[in-house]
């Protein structure tokens, strides 16, 4: 791909976008809702094609891709899209006629990672506002964006003209410059990537950036019967296994309220049993040597601490395919990902707040279990730490469309909003 | 320097290791390595309780050991958690701390002698950095790192201090002070040696060299250092300067200093090790660039899950077995990736700007951010 080609694509997209904005917004919304509903259908051509192609390019196992898509797409209905747009922006042709909402003339989406749910919403949201999209595909997933683009074109040729995908290495500066000439830029990636993009965009241009995040689980087993605790561990294991713990909604560690020194180790055992079962049902995908080395290093580190007398227990699959480290204290430790989870004891909610404080700048979701009547208070404290989702275990990988990713709404950051005020 | 700890077994092991380090015998003597490795493992198994327990959990004891490659390796991270030494605490004469730039907590190496460290360092340094110089030759060594007086707990500064003391001439010195690269003193020294037509050895951390090229380019200064000048860099970048690929760093240093790339080498070492490894480029200029070390330190590149050696050309985790580590732990599991290359190895870094597969941030990166 040459920079000039990207410039031409942006120009063509702007032309198509103008046509898109000329037609009633309801028509676009109906088409997008249909596309979402079709992606939810396991028999849809596009879903099946993605399930077939994504494993080899991304490294995820076919089982993880299938189950991740099934659970992730479940709440993403066409109706949910309509409801969210109405809630955040107002009905397409409703209101008192004094609010004006428009998408940008063009939106560039810089994709990252290989988790397709992020890509789907990132491409559909600007279109719902009438903004055409130029997507730079991620190195580990060149397929999802293209399948989404084809599904849009099949349902609605004009929408098909309003989306294009480009694929070039991020080090090609002239291509990056051409891409960032879009009127609005949505970027996903590490803090380093986001900083690099931010530095290239003029201050008066719209940049909607989503940096890398992490999630955790918090469990209070005090009032949970044994069966319920085992079930909670199984649901947490699913949250960990999906997308091999690489997503920002994947829990990297669990904190367990533990007043007698037994609850956290017990929960660790149950979690280990559940991860062992999932290793068969949802096999872990490819692990690059760097990630394997980090996990091996952290396991050996835990072994050394245990050997020195710390109350640390290591549970691990025979091939290193999963690891649960039952820690002796609440301190945050490195998270190698790829199904490596630590379980920390913590004495009470006040101590929990202190333990999670170092994560606050990067916290995304918290899976919460066992807090009963204290759930709302605990959630308030977690929200104060920066969490944008607080949900039950087993649901961490299936956020609603309305999830306030990075504590923001979905549509307002992508829109130009104005209101004609009443005469005074 | 002090005598080794009072344990007679330890003293005997130190004596045997020092005999090798100080001899001219640089051959890969497998039998000698095996015998010393077994005795050192047995000693450390008994005298470092945490390590002994760790080995028992792995099912490896001196009685069951079949091959030195089975000796359990301690992860470098454990030096952040535990005092890992095989001598009584009261015998400690020196401690080195890791930089702590990649995680919040630095690690500590406790030492009861510096004799082995220095005896391992000097012949290996000469062989790989100054192979063309006679044994008694001294040259101007400019160090882009703080002096040992300024950074007494830095093994890197100690190493450079020993190198300057033993191999440097009167024009040698340290050009980092109070965290700043002192370009004025460095440039004055370089100009002096250039005028005299005498070669210079520049040593330092990679991030210090990034600051140097930034300054050279900002000031539009270009040196043409005399023939025979060379440059050795060591260490990473994380949290200290922007990260640039080594090939780019070397190319820009060649442009700014006039030292050819084939006279630039990387040293691979770490606080937890008594020995270091060097690019072979000066010692074996006609052969493939790879890391080589002394015969008393061996490297295994292993599959991180199975802990077995990877095939030649495959990527794995670097494990170092170093006989110079008599007071701490012989077998060290690093967090670095490597690839076997002939009789040596290659250290692989994460390519700057490489994309992740997911959108989760590993908690160590987050913690590193806090500490930087």
**pLDDT at position B277 over 70:** yes
**pLDDT at position B351 over 90:** no
Nearest Cα of chain A lies from the Cα of B350 at a distance, in angstroms, of 8
Of A210, A213, A308, the CB nearest to B50: A308
Tell me which chain A residues have a C-beta less than 8 angstroms from the C-beta of B57: 303, 306-307
Question: Is B337 an 8 Å CB contact of chain A?
Answer: yes
**Banded pLDDT at B59 (limits 50, 70, 90):** very high
Q: Are the Cβ atoms of B75 and A301 closer than 8 angstroms?
A: yes
What tokens does B325 get? 């580590």
Angle subtended at Cα A278 by Cα A116 and Cα A399, rounded to the nearest 5 degrees: 35
End-to-end CA distance of chain A: 54
Output the CA–CA distances (angstroms, integers) from residue B14 to A267, B10, B11, B40, B50, in the order listed.
Answer: 47, 6, 5, 9, 22
Of B75, B357, B361, the CB nearest to A300: B75
* A176 vs B104: which has the higher pLDDT: A176
From CA B267, how far away is CA B249, in angstroms rounded?
15
Helices H, strands E: what count in chain A? 15, 14
Tens digit of pLDDT for each residue in A259-278?
A: 999 999 999 999 999 999 99
What tokens does B304 get? 């991180």
Tens digit of pLDDT for each residue in A124-145?
A: 999 999 999 999 999 999 999 9
Kindly write down the DSSP assignment for every residue of A96-164, as one continuous string.
TS-EEEEE-S-EEEE--SS-HHHHHHHHHHHHHTT--EEEEPBTTBSSHHHHHHHHHHHH-HHHHHTEE
To which H or E segment does residue A241 belong? helix A226-241
According to DSSP, residue B182 is labeled -
Tell me which chain B residues have a C-beta less than 8 angstroms from the C-beta of A309: 50
**pLDDT at position A335 over 70:** yes
**pLDDT at position A162 over 90:** yes
From CA B102, how far away is CA B239, in angstroms rounded?
7
Nearest Cα of chain A lies from the Cα of B303 at a distance, in angstroms, of 8
Q: Are the Cβ atoms of B361 and A308 closer than 8 angstroms?
A: no
**pLDDT at position B239 over 50:** no
Q: Could you say which residues from 46 to 105 on chain B have a Cβ atom under 8 Å away from some Cβ of chain A?
A: 49-51, 53-54, 56-58, 73-78, 81-82, 103
Buried b (16+ CB within 10 A) or exposed e, B114-148: bbbbbbbbbbbbbbbbbeeeeeeebbbbbbbbbbb
**Banded pLDDT at A22 (limits 50, 70, 90):** very high
**pLDDT at position A100 over 60:** yes
- Give the best residue of B340, B353, B360 to mutate against chain A (max A CB count within 10 A): B360
Q: Are the Cβ atoms of A59 and B357 closer than 8 angstroms?
A: yes
From CA B283, how far away is CA B289, in angstroms rounded?
10
DSSP E strands in B105-263: the ranges are 108-111, 140-144, 173-174, 176-177, 180-181, 200-205, 230-234
Q: Are the Cβ atoms of A118 and B359 closer than 8 angstroms?
A: yes
Nearest Cα of chain B lies from the Cα of A226 at a distance, in angstroms, of 30
Q: Are the Cβ atoms of B335 and A244 closer than 8 angstroms?
A: no
Residue among A84, A96, A183 at smallest CA distance from A124: A84
Question: Is A240 an 8 Å CB contact of chain B?
Answer: no
From CA B232, how far away is CA B139, in angstroms rounded?
14
Interface predicted TM-score (ipTM) of this complex, two decimals: 0.86
Q: Are the Cβ atoms of B363 and A300 closer than 8 angstroms?
A: no
**pLDDT at position B150 over 90:** yes
In this prediction, residues A79-92 reach a mean pLDDT of: 90
Tell me which chain A residues have a C-beta less than 8 angstroms from the C-beta of B350: 290
**pLDDT at position B100 over 60:** no
Identify the closest residue of chain B to A54 by CA–CA distance.
B357
Q: Could you say which residues from 139 to 158 on chain A have a Cβ atom under 8 Å away from some Cβ of chain B?
A: 139-140
Question: What per-residue confidence (pLDDT) applies to B242?
Answer: 61
Output the CA–CA distances (angstroms, integers) from residue B167 to A142, B134, B141, in the order listed.
Answer: 55, 11, 8
- Helices A116-128 and A78-88: crossing angle in degrees, nearest 10, is 50
Question: Is B350 an 8 Å CB contact of chain A?
Answer: yes
Q: Are the Cβ atoms of A308 and B53 closer than 8 angstroms?
A: yes
Spell out the residues 6+ positions from residue A408 whose beta carbon is closer than 8 angstroms to its own: none
Nearest Cα of chain A lies from the Cα of B101 at a distance, in angstroms, of 14
**Banded pLDDT at B369 (limits 50, 70, 90):** very low
In this prediction, residues B117-122 reach a mean pLDDT of: 96
| Cβ count near A9 (within 10 Å) | 19
**pLDDT at position B364 over 70:** no
Q: Are the Cβ atoms of B360 and A246 closer than 8 angstroms?
A: yes
From CA A338, how far away is CA A335, in angstroms rounded?
9
Output the CA–CA distances (angstroms, integers) from residue B209 to A142, A377, B347, B363, in the order listed.
Answer: 37, 52, 19, 29
pTM of the entire structure? Answer: 0.90
Of B78, B303, B317, the CB nearest to A304: B78
What tokens does A199 get? 């530095």
Tell me which chain A residues have a C-beta less than 8 angstroms from the C-beta of B75: 297-298, 300-301, 304
Residue among A184, A208, A209 at smallest CA distance from A134: A184
* A203 vs A198: which has the higher pLDDT: A198
Whether the Cβ atoms of residue A206 and residue A187 lie closer than 8 Å to each other? no
From CA A40, how far away is CA A151, in angstroms rounded?
12
Question: What per-residue confidence (pLDDT) applies to B101?
Answer: 46
| Cβ count near B242 (within 10 Å) | 10
From CA B109, how far away is CA A348, in angstroms rounded?
36
Spell out the residues 6+ positions from residue B279 whose beta carbon is closer than 8 angstroms to its own: B128, B265, B266, B267, B289, B290, B291
Question: Is B248 an 8 Å CB contact of chain A?
Answer: no
Question: What per-residue confidence (pLDDT) applies to A137?
Answer: 96
**pLDDT at position B367 over 50:** no
**A–B interface: beta-carbon pairs under 8 A:** 170
Spell out the residues 6+ positions from residue B292 whose beta carbon is closer than 8 angstroms to its own: B128, B277, B278, B280, B283, B284, B343, B344
Q: pLDDT averaged over chain A?
A: 95
CA atoms within 13 A on the CB side of A207: 22
In this prediction, residues A167-180 reach a mean pLDDT of: 93
Of A252, A295, A308, the CB nearest to B363: A252
From CA B278, how far away is CA B289, in angstroms rounded?
10
Identify the closest residue of chain B to A292 by CA–CA distance.
B304
| Cβ count near A12 (within 10 Å) | 16
Question: Is A348 an 8 Å CB contact of chain B?
Answer: no
Tell me which chain A residues have a C-beta less than 8 angstroms from the C-beta of B361: 190-191, 211-214, 248, 362
Q: pLDDT averaged over chain B?
A: 90
Question: What per-residue confidence (pLDDT) applies to B199?
Answer: 97
**pLDDT at position B237 over 60:** no
From CA A42, how far away is CA B152, in angstroms rounded?
64
From CA B251, how far away is CA B185, in angstroms rounded?
24
Kindly write down the DSSP assignment for every residue of A161-212, as one continuous string.
HTEEEE---TT-HHHHHHHTTSSEEEEEE-HHHHHHHHHHS-TTSEEEEEE-
**pLDDT at position A158 over 60:** yes
According to DSSP, residue A46 is labeled H
Of A140, A303, A332, the CB nearest to B367: A332
Burial environment of residue B224 by CB neighbours within 10 A (0 to 12, 13 to 18, 19 or more)? exposed
To which H or E segment does residue B267 belong? strand B264-268
Spell out the residues 6+ positions from residue A95 whose beta carbon is closer than 8 angstroms to its own: none
From CA B363, how far away is CA B365, in angstroms rounded?
5
Tell me which chain B residues have a C-beta less than 8 angstroms from the C-beta of A297: 75-77, 304, 317, 333-335
Whether the Cβ atoms of residue A54 and residue A60 lie closer than 8 Å to each other? yes
Question: Is A38 an 8 Å CB contact of chain B?
Answer: no
From CA B257, how far away is CA B248, in angstroms rounded?
14
What is the longest distance spanned by two Cα atoms in chain A? 76
Tens digit of pLDDT for each residue in A377-399?
A: 999 999 999 999 999 999 999 99
From CA A28, how far away is CA A160, in angstroms rounded?
11
End-to-end CA distance of chain B: 33
**pLDDT at position B133 over 80:** yes
What tokens does B92 get? 């400690």
Whether the Cβ atoms of residue A17 and residue A105 lie closer than 8 Å to each other? yes
Nearest Cα of chain A lies from the Cα of B87 at a distance, in angstroms, of 16
Q: Could you say which residues from 193 to 212 on chain A have a Cβ atom under 8 Å away from some Cβ of chain B?
A: 193, 210-212
Tell me which chain B residues have a C-beta less than 8 angstroms from the C-beta of A320: 304-306
Tens digit of pLDDT for each residue in A291-332?
A: 999 999 999 999 999 999 999 999 999 888 999 999 999 999
Percent of chain B with pLDDT over 70: 88
**pLDDT at position A422 over 80:** yes
From CA B46, how far away is CA B149, in angstroms rounded?
35
Residue written as token pair 């080609």: A5
Asked which of A58-62, B88-92, B241-245, B361-365 is least confident by mean pLDDT, the reply is B361-365
Percent of chain B with pLDDT over 90: 79
Kindly write down the DSSP assignment for every residue of A312-342, as one continuous string.
-EEEE-TTSS-EEEE-SS--------SSEEE
Whether the Cβ atoms of residue B323 and residue B43 lie closer than 8 Å to each other? no
**pLDDT at position A93 over 70:** no
From CA A180, how far away is CA A186, in angstroms rounded?
10
From CA A251, how far away is CA A216, in angstroms rounded?
4
Question: What per-residue confidence (pLDDT) applies to B197?
Answer: 96
* A95 vs A214: which has the higher pLDDT: A214
From CA A397, how far away is CA A402, in angstroms rounded?
14
Question: What per-residue confidence (pLDDT) applies to B370?
Answer: 34
Question: Is B328 an 8 Å CB contact of chain A?
Answer: no
B28 Ramachandran zone, left/alpha/beta (phi>0; psi -120 to 50): beta
Name the phi and psi angles at A208, rounded to 5: -110, 105
What tokens does B267 get? 């040293």
Q: Could you say which residues from 253 to 292 on chain B have a Cβ atom under 8 Å away from some Cβ of chain A?
A: none
Strand order in the sheet with A389-392: A313-316, A323-326, A340-346, A251-257, A214-219, A363-369, A389-392
Question: Is B180 an 8 Å CB contact of chain A?
Answer: no
């Amino acid at each position: 791909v040459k920079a000039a080609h990207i410039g031409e694509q942006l120009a063509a997209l702007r032309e198509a976008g103008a046509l898109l904005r000329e037609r009633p917004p309801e028509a676009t919304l109906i088409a997008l809702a249909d596309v979402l509903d079709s992606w939810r259908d396991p028999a849809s051509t596009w879903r099946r094609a993605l399930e077939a192609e994504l494993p080899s390019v991304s490294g995820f196992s076919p089982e993880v891709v299938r189950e991740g898509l099934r659970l992730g797409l479940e709440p993403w209905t066409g109706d949910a899209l309509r409801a969210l747009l109405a809630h955040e922006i107002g009905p397409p042709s409703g209101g008192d006629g004094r609010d004006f909402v428009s998408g940008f003339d063009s939106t560039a989406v810089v994709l990252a990672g290989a988790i397709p749910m992020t890509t789907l919403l990132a491409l559909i949201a600007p279109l719902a506002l009438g903004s055409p999209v130029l997507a730079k595909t991620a190195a580990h997933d060149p397929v999802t964006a293209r399948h989404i683009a084809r599904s849009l074109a099949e349902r609605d040729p004009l929408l098909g003209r309003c989306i294009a995908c480009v694929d070039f290495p991020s080090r090609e500066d002239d291509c990056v410059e051409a891409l960032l000439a879009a009127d609005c830029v949505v970027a996903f990636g590490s803090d380093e990537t986001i900083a690099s993009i931010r530095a290239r965009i003029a201050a008066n241009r719209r940049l909607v950036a989503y940096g890398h995040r992490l999630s955790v689980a918090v469990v209070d087993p005090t009032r949970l019967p044994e069966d319920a605790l085992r079930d909670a561990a199984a649901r947490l294991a699913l949250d960990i296994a999906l997308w091999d713990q690489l997503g920002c909604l994947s829990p990297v560690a669990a904190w367990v309220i533990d007043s007698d020194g037994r609850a956290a180790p017990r929960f660790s055992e149950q979690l280990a049993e559940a991860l062992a079962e999932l290793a068969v049902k949802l096999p872990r995908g490819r692990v690059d040597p760097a990630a394997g080395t980090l996990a091996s290093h952290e396991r050996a580190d835990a072994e050394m601490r245990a050997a020195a007398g710390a109350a640390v227990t290591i549970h691990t699959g025979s091939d290193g395919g999963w690891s649960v480290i039952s820690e002796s204290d609440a301190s945050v430790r490195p998270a190698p990902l790829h199904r490596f989870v630590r379980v920390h004891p913590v004495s009470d909610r006040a101590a929990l707040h202190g333990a999670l404080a170092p994560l606050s700048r990067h916290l995304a979701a918290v899976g919460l279990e066992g807090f009963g009547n204290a759930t709302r208070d605990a959630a308030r404290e977690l929200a104060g730490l920066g969490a944008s989702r607080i949900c039950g275990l087993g649901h961490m990988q299936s956020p609603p469309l309305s999830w306030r990713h990075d504590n923001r709404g979905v549509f307002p950051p992508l829109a130009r909003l104005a209101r004609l005020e009443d005469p005074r | 320097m002090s005598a080794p700890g009072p344990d007679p077994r330890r003293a005997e092991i130190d004596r045997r290791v020092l005999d090798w380090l100080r001899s001219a015998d640089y051959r890969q003597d497998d039998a000698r390595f095996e015998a010393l490795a077994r005795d050192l493992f047995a000693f450390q198994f008994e005298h470092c309780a945490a390590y002994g327990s760790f080995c028992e959990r792995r099912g490896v004891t001196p009685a069951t050991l079949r091959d030195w490659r089975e000796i359990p390796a301690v992860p470098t991270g454990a030096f952040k958690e535990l005092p890992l030494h095989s001598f009584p605490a009261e015998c400690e004469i020196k401690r080195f701390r890791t930089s702590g730039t990649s995680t919040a907590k630095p690690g500590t190496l406790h030492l009861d002698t510096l004799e082995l460290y220095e005896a391992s360092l000097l012949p290996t340094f000469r062989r790989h950095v100054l192979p063309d110089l006679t044994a008694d030759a001294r040259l101007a060594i400019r160090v882009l790192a703080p002096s040992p007086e300024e950074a007494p707990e830095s093994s890197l500064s100690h190493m450079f201090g020993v190198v300057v003391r033993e191999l440097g001439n009167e024009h040698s010195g340290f050009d980092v002070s109070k965290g700043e690269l002192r370009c004025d003193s460095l440039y004055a020294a370089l100009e002096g040696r250039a005028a005299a037509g005498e070669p210079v050895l520049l040593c330092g951390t990679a991030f210090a060299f990034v600051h140097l090229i930034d300054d050279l380019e900002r000031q539009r200064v270009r040196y043409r250092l005399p023939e025979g000048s060379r440059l050795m860099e060591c260490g990473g970048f994380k949290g200290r300067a922007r990260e640039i690929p080594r090939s780019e760093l070397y190319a820009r240093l060649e442009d700014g200093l006039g030292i050819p790339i084939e006279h630039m080498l990387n040293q691979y070492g770490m606080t937890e090790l008594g020995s270091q490894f060097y690019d072979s480029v000066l010692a074996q200029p006609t052969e493939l660039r790879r890391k080589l070390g002394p015969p008393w330190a061996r490297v295994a590149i292993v599959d991180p899950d199975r802990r077995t050696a990877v095939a030649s050309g495959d990527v794995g985790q670097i494990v170092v077995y170093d006989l110079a580590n008599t007071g701490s732990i012989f077998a060290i599991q690093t967090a670095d990736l490597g690839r076997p290359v002939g009789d040596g190895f290659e250290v692989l870094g994460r390519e700057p700007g490489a994309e992740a597969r997911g959108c989760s941030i590993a908690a160590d990166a987050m913690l590193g951010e806090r500490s930087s």
